[in-house]
Amino acid sequence: MCAERIQNPDVLIVGSGIAGVLIAWRLGRAGKKVLILEAGEALPADINGYMNTFLEATAKVPESPYPPALFTGKDLTDPGTVNAGRPTVLSLGAKGKFGDWQDPKQAYLIQKGPLPFGSTYERINGGTVRHWLGTSLRFVPSDFEMKSRFNRFVDWPIKYRHLERWYGEAEKDIGVSADVADQNYLGIAFSSNYPMPRIPLSLVDMEVEKAMANLKVAGVGLDGLKWKVSSTPAARNSQPYQARRVCAGNTNCIPICPIQAKYDPSVTLAEALRTGNVDVSYKTVASKVHVDGNGRVSGIDFIRYDKDNGDAIERGRLTAKLYILAGNAIETPRLLLMSKSEQTPNGVANRRDGKGSVGKYLMDHPLYLAWALTPKPVWGYRGPLSTAGIEVCRDGQFRRERGAFRIEIGNEGWNFPIQDPDTTTVDFVNGLNASGLNDGSKPLFGNALAIALNDKLSRQFRLGFLVEQSPDDSNTVTLSDQFTDHLGLPRPQITYDLSDYTKRGLAAAKTTASAIFQSMHAKEFTEPKADDPSTFEWPPGQKTRIQYYGSGHIVGTHRMGDRSENSVVDSFQRSHDHDNLYLVGSGSFPTVATANPTLTLAALCLRTADKILKDGLG
């Protein structure tokens, strides 16, 4: 048992995702003894098992390669029968149907609405990163100063300049491919180069770039903008790095890179373990944080199990000098709220006066998805899922009125919107028209079938708009008082909605997508699903509906700030209430900003590790 090898760790970390392992690695190489508790299974020696599970899966969703199993027979696995449960996109369906988003027998998260929280995660080596795309964008300076610049929300307790060094460190640690010249926009400054050159642009990117010169988007605050396509920084190898292979363009970055050219936390975990000062206890669920009479964390209870749906085989308590919770922005507040006691009546790190912020301000980047057919082939599926985007619309005075967004240029045809090439192939073989591409719904055979598929599939492309969401204290993670997992622990309960500020951002994304397609002379096929719960009417009172998707960017719930009255941790992610407790990861973000969060959370965690080493463990 791992806990036996490190009897008295200096530091106890809950979670082996990117936040936890980056800190463990930095502390371990400095000689600190670190034990990590990981709720999920140990990583296999290679990914062949995950690959086979994915290839054989009926539903090839982001969660499909990883345990526990999504299905029991033909039904979704009941989350109440699993020890380390997790949400899946398959449980975001309409009420009364397969995957009903509010059916606790199908959905791990107990969703109270009024809209669904659409993002999912794994509980195995930081699964939100194991099935990530690799996008490693820096925030723009305005993202840290929303209150000062736009009179919206709150400012972060740090500015871009405080993270600039750590952005560079994170880019080297996780291996980011990019060129500084492509990223000098909206005030982003660099003091170091990326460790690898950028991933080459796809043919899809080049075709979108041609349309930028004549692009005009009216009515959403983007008038006069100088539009351009920028390569996307990615934690994916453009040359050999960290003993990882060079990207071969498999277009399968999500849910799993088949050659492991893309970074995931197992890379850093291996480095941490090689220090000889770091160990991991797998299948070990943290169940309660204890606080002593002096307000310091004194231990963490754990439950160890052997099988996904088996009984607990051990229960106990572990102690250390310093404690770091590195779950995610749902599992970390869940643990804190489960830790009620006489000393912490509202849960750990959540203030005695009832005004704590643990679990509040849950955010995502609600994603607007749009797809079209170009007049000539753009040849998707050559390269990673995305190699470029449009970033110049991430900031501007419009942020006083609506959410900003970045635009991701997809390179996988209509796979995301309609699960192509399968859907279109079935349409033409069987005389159906679910894709909208088989006018007349005629079945085709032989050469005619090959010609039709080559024509349609080669002209497909999609855009994804990652929209800034407002931090609303009504969007919360709490504990269910009815539903538990197999270990008897309360499951997370989610209350979630989109503000008008966020909805205006999604509406602006819709307008922008149509303008880009028009500039490309492409025929748009975007259509919200009629019964999908992730839709809303906009403008209110009209029949037009907009559909959003989850981006996998789970943010907020233990936000940082200068004062305990309105935040949970300080700028180093240290609890205001307990001086030997750190809560790390994207849960610390006061606002969701405009970029994918992983690089920023990595930079924050490197800054935290540096602070811990400078201050000592006392």
What structural domains and CATH numbers belong to the chain? 2-73+120-192+258-364+554-615 (3.50.50.60), 199-232+367-468+500-547 (no CATH)
| Chain mean pLDDT for the chain | 95
Which strand ranges, in their side-by-side order, compose the sheet holding 581-583? Answer: 278-281, 34-37, 11-14, 322-325, 581-583
Residue 280, beta-bridge partner list:
36
pLDDT single digits (tens) 522-551: 999 999 988 999 999 999 988 899 999 999
How high is the pLDDT of residue 186?
96
How high is the pLDDT of residue 43?
87
Dihedral, CA of residue 423, residue 428, residue 431 and residue 433, to nearest 10? 50
What average pLDDT does the segment 7-26 reach? 96
Task: Provide φ and ψ at 368, rounded to 5°.
Answer: -95, 125
Task: Provide φ and ψ at 78, rounded to 5°.
Answer: -65, 115
Q: 358 pLDDT band (50/70/90 cuts)? A: very high
pLDDT single digits (tens) 298-340: 999 999 999 999 999 999 999 999 999 999 999 999 999 999 9
What average pLDDT does the segment 575-584 reach? 98
**Least confident range of 5-19, 407-421, 446-460, 469-483:** 5-19
CA 594 to chain centre: 13
Most confident option among 2-6, 249-253, 292-296: 292-296
pLDDT single digits (tens) 23-34: 999 999 999 999
Q: 469 pLDDT band (50/70/90 cuts)? A: very high
Burial of 451 (0-12, 13-18, 19+ CB in 10 A): exposed
Q: 194 pLDDT band (50/70/90 cuts)? A: very high
Q: Is 58's pLDDT higher than 90? A: no
How high is the pLDDT of residue 127?
65
What average pLDDT does the segment 26-47 reach? 94
DSSP code for 77: P
pTM of structure:
0.97
pLDDT single digits (tens) 388-439: 999 999 999 999 999 999 999 999 999 999 999 999 999 999 999 999 999 9
Pinpoint the alpha helices (H) of 366-436.
Answer: 415-418, 422-430
Q: 129 pLDDT band (50/70/90 cuts)? A: low
CA 538 to chain centre: 26
Report strand pairing: 312-318 vs 297-305: antiparallel
pLDDT single digits (tens) 139-166: 999 999 999 999 999 999 999 999 999 9
- Of 237, 509, 508, 200, which Cα lies nearest the Cα of 382? 200
- Of 379, 452, 438, 387, which Cα lies nearest the Cα of 413? 379
Q: Is 128's pLDDT higher than 80? A: no
How high is the pLDDT of residue 7?
76
Task: Provide φ and ψ at 287, rounded to 5°.
Answer: -120, -20
How high is the pLDDT of residue 157?
98
The fraction of the chain above a pLDDT of 90, given in percent, is 91
Q: State how far the Cα of 14 lies from the Cα of 23, in Å rounded to an integer.
A: 11
Helix (H, G, I), strand (E, B) or coil at 424: helix
Q: 585 pLDDT band (50/70/90 cuts)? A: very high
The larger pLDDT score, comparing residue 182 to residue 46, is at 182
DSSP strands (E only) in 277-387: 278-281, 284-291, 297-305, 312-318, 322-325, 367-373
